Amino acid sequence: MVGKEVAMTSSKEKSMRFATPDVSYDLDPQAVAEYILMLDSRREDPDVTQLKLHKLLYLAQANYLASTGRRLMDSDVEAFRHGPVIDAIRSTCKPYDRDIIVNRHKPSKKTTLPPDAADFLNRIWEMYQDNSASYLRNLTHRQDPWRDNYVEGESHTLIPDADMADYFSQKVPVTQRVFHPNVIVVDQDFLDSLDDDLVVDQTLEALA
């Protein structure tokens, strides 16, 4: 049996993997950014600036790493003064400054992203779309991956993948995380009350 993962969660954010989830990974960062911009363009009042875009993409990368063990995008994430930045699209986004990007750039209505990645990004968008750029900036400033790696007065400080994966899998409450569509979340406390062998057998049967 392949293609699914069961994440068993509790207040301590424990997890158990019965199988490696079937996921897309190392996708083109520009294609991922375009998909987010396409979603923003559908809104009555788009608001994604380069600051908000970088934060959305960071949250996508971090949640994906925690959920699948793989990078969503083939790009490093770096710690800048105003939060995490996706290195691969930084030069592309910089000319937009504080402008709403879709007011100056019309994103494609078609996507080259695999369905599982698009589904995951829809979930990211659903969770964070209504948050302002400044809110997301402040959110990322409170999180360990940026706080532990940012150096005052410096840019381009790498935020390691392991820091993002560990923080989001161990310290972020499950209700505030975004999971890959091939990951099934099961409550650990409920499973603790059941027969372990029966739980594993029935879970594997359900996922087959």
Q: Which residues contact 169 (CB under 8 A, 6 or more apart)?
A: 13, 15, 66, 67
What pLDDT does 36 receive?
98
What pLDDT does 20 receive?
60
Q: What is the percentage of the chain residues whose pLDDT exceeds 90?
A: 72
* Mean local confidence (pLDDT), 88-98: 95
**pLDDT(95) > 90:** yes
φ and ψ of 171, to 5 deg:
-115, -20
* Mean local confidence (pLDDT), 9-31: 69
**pLDDT(4) > 70:** no
Over the stretch 157-196, which tens digit does the pLDDT of each residue have? 999 999 999 999 999 999 999 999 998 777 666 666 666 6
Q: Which residues contact 50 (CB under 8 A, 6 or more apart)?
A: 93, 94, 96, 97, 98, 101
Confirm if 208 and 1 have CB atoms less than 8 A apart: yes
Short-list 156, 186, 174, 145, CA closest to 61: 145
What pLDDT does 19 receive?
53
**pLDDT(15) > 60:** no
Q: Which of 78-82, 92-96, 107-111 has the lowest mean pLDDT?
A: 107-111
Confirm if 190 and 74 have CB atoms less than 8 A apart: no
Confirm if 26 and 71 have CB atoms less than 8 A apart: yes
At what angle are helices 133-141 and 50-68 packed, to 10 degrees? 50
DSSP assignment, residue 86? E
**pLDDT(11) > 60:** no
Q: What is the percentage of the chain residues whose pLDDT exceeds 70?
A: 80
What pLDDT does 48 receive?
98
* Mean local confidence (pLDDT), 136-156: 95
CA distance 155 to 21: 34
Q: Which residue has the higher pLDDT, 10 or 95?
A: 95
